[in-house]
Amino acid sequence: MYPELYTKCYTFGNDYAEVWYIIPADEVDYSLMRDSMYNTYTYRITIYSYEQKDSVIREGIKGIRRGKSEIGDFILDCYPIFLFPGRFSYNLVINLFGINLSASGEFEIASDTMSCYLSDLILGSKRKADTAFVRKGIKFMPRITSRYTNLDTLFSYIEIYGLVPDSLFYFVYYQIKDSLNQNFYKKEFARLKYDYIQFDTLSISLLDFRDGVYKLIVEIFEPALNFRMKREYGFMVKEVLPEIIDKPFAWEIKYLVSEQEYKRFLKMSRAEQIGYLKRFWSKRNYKEFEKRLIEADAKFSTSFIKGRDTPMGRYYINNGAPDEDYAYGPGVATRADIRHKGAHVDEPQEVWIYEIKGLQVIFRDTNKDGVYELVGFAKLGDKEKEDYWQNREEIWKYLR
């Protein structure tokens, strides 16, 4: 199957345009380069003017280099074009490793008689390595195919021409609408004017976006001219499971939420559950949760119940290991019993001490089956802290 060539033409001020093209990584057959790290391909671009009934052709050779990730690269480049105002079409033909690829499109160069107008709206992604598109000091990677996943961040760029210094600000309104024309995102900004020509950008995480087709709408209002301008651009989002959802215990949130909340989670659709989990783990430390759950299984499991499902295990998962813990057999007093001259206990018992919280947690094996129930809490008050070291030796006598 032959690779596919994707193109997009962006128009700017001063009768300037750029025709961008991309051949995605998974469609580039680098094996045809054999052992070479560098090869060439030829191009031929034809620009046709509807008004002038005339055309111009540019041809040439470009190089392609296979990167460190081997077939993880892609071909991405552009052709700068200076033209007079009018409507045009283009046809691009690339001969890649002996295979001819072609794509066509249309564009319009705005008349310079317009007092205020916009460049085309450009969508892309912006990371440290994204340096393909450079304009006005902004570097980013155009998304020629307008395809994203919900793990991406959408970046948009637009230029504004003809701003008038009679007012301090211009206003920009960003909207994203879904396929049902319902608002999915809406923001308004007042931007300070500093030049006749300016650019405006937007960066938005797509984490909460589901599978579907969306449309970004950018509207600029110039108050000095009482003039509104608008551009829009469609894009697609493919929902993929973020890495956290694939973790072995990412769905085990019942140990961290209330019973009522977990029942609500179980009634959600799968898409809703995935969205819930993405938000849930973005606010919590999954690695620490996984560590505690595994430790709870190792410490508190019995022949008939997993440690994570025991009262001790659940408390351990939510609160972590205690600073100190004491185990007592039948007839042995707890630390609190010693202080208050209380009676001895009849069942095996453990007391967990959380010094920073000033809390002691009491568990008791009431059924003598190895599963300790949570039976109570006691605060470590000022008096208890004073008595701590005094009672420490006395406690250890019972533990030896």
Least confident range from 89-93, 232-236, 325-329, 373-377: namely 325-329
Q: 44 is written with which tokens? A: 């031929």
Whole-number CA gyration radius for the chain:
33
> What is the reported pLDDT for 344?
46
β-bridge mates for residue 236, sequence order: 147, 213
Mean per-residue pLDDT for 222-236?
94
> What is the reported pLDDT for 264?
93
Express each pLDDT in 122-131 by its tens digit: 999 887 665 6
pLDDT of residue 308 exceeding 70: yes
Instruction: Answer with the residue of higher pLDDT: 358 or 201.
Output: 201
Express each pLDDT in 309-321 by its tens digit: 999 999 999 999 9
pLDDT of residue 136 exceeding 50: yes
- Contact predicate 88/106, CB 8 Å: yes
Phi-psi region of 335 (alpha: psi -120 to 50; beta: other; left: phi over 0): alpha
The CATH class for the domain spanning 1-113 reads mainly beta
pTM of the shown model: 0.60
Q: Is the dihedral of CA 163, 168, 171, 172 positive or negative?
A: positive
Q: 149 is written with which tokens? A: 């996943």
* CATH fold for domain 114-240: Immunoglobulin-like (2.60.40)
Instruction: Report which of 210, 197, 203, 205 is spatially closest to residue 237, judged by C-alpha positions.
Output: 210
> What is the reported pLDDT for 34?
52
- Contact predicate 207/151, CB 8 Å: yes
User: What is the rounded end-to-end Cα distance, in angstroms, of the chain?
Assistant: 76
pLDDT of residue 382 exceeding 50: no
Domain boundaries defined on the chain: 1-113, 114-240, 242-303, 322-400
**112 CB neighbour count, 10 Å cutoff:** 13
pLDDT confidence bin for 392, thresholds 50/70/90: low
The Cα 281–Cα 290 span in angstroms is 12
Least confident range from 101-110, 237-246, 274-283, 385-394: namely 385-394
Express each pLDDT in 23-81 by its tens digit: 775 555 555 555 556 678 899 999 999 998 999 999 999 877 654 333 345 778 889 99
